[in-house]
Amino acid sequence: MSTAQELEQLLTRLRALVADARPVPLSTSVIIHRDEAMDLIDTAIEMLPDDLKRARRIINERDQVIGEGEHEAQQLIEQARARVEQLVSRTEIVREARRVADQMVADAEQRSRQMQHETEDYVDQKLASFEIVLERTLRTVHKGRSQLQPQVEDSGSLNTLAPDGTGEIAGTYDELAELGDDYEQSYEPAPGGYAEDYEYLDDSAAYPSDEFEETPRRQRRRRPR
């Protein structure tokens, strides 16, 4: 007889034991022999196949297995979320750092262009002021030469113009002094040669240099006897 048939007989006997039991008055319950019923049940359990036993153990341990699986899955989910947040945080930091760096470069370029424009304007103003001073200085020099020219023509050989055309009298102070008292030295400035003739601007760069503060000294022509 196979195990399945024996198990079926045991279950049949257990069913007959319950069916033939004496009923409890006014109730659906019955009175059975406890020990006899437990023996049949234990024998049937022992005759169950191993697969069924393992299945029963799995069923009994199901809650524990499910709990452990759920706990492990929750840990994996939390680890994944933490990793994602870490990556997102790093990405935000890199993005913010790049944005700040780009802004710093843009500000530096704008400041550089502004400084370049300011420098060009400053140099242009200085050159314009210097140009005005030079123009006025040239007009003063031309005026002095034009006033000096008639005196040069009347002064003779000693009052000739210098080779460089500067309008100065040829000959040094000592050479003219050796001629005696017939020549009188003076330090008369050329007409229009004073520094006061310049209209100074507010900018200090517009003032004439030291070489325009005094006109070169020259010799007066010889006085007639």
**Amino acid occupying residue 116:** Q
**In the chain, domain spans:** 3-62, 97-212
Cβ neighbors of 22 (< 8 A, separation 6 or more) are 30, 31
pLDDT in tens, 109-122: 999 999 999 999 99
User: What does pTM read for this prediction?
Assistant: 0.30
Q: CA 78: distance to chain centroid? A: 37
Judged against a pLDDT cut of 50, whether residue 89 lies above it is answered with: yes
pLDDT in tens, 24-41: 888 788 777 778 888 888
175 DSSP 8-state letter: H
The residue ranking higher by pLDDT, 17 or 186, is 17
Q: CA 119: distance to chain centroid? A: 24
Using DSSP's 3-state secondary structure scheme, residue 58 falls into: helix
pLDDT in tens, 12-22: 888 888 787 78
The whole-angstrom separation of Cα 191 and Cα 143 is: 8
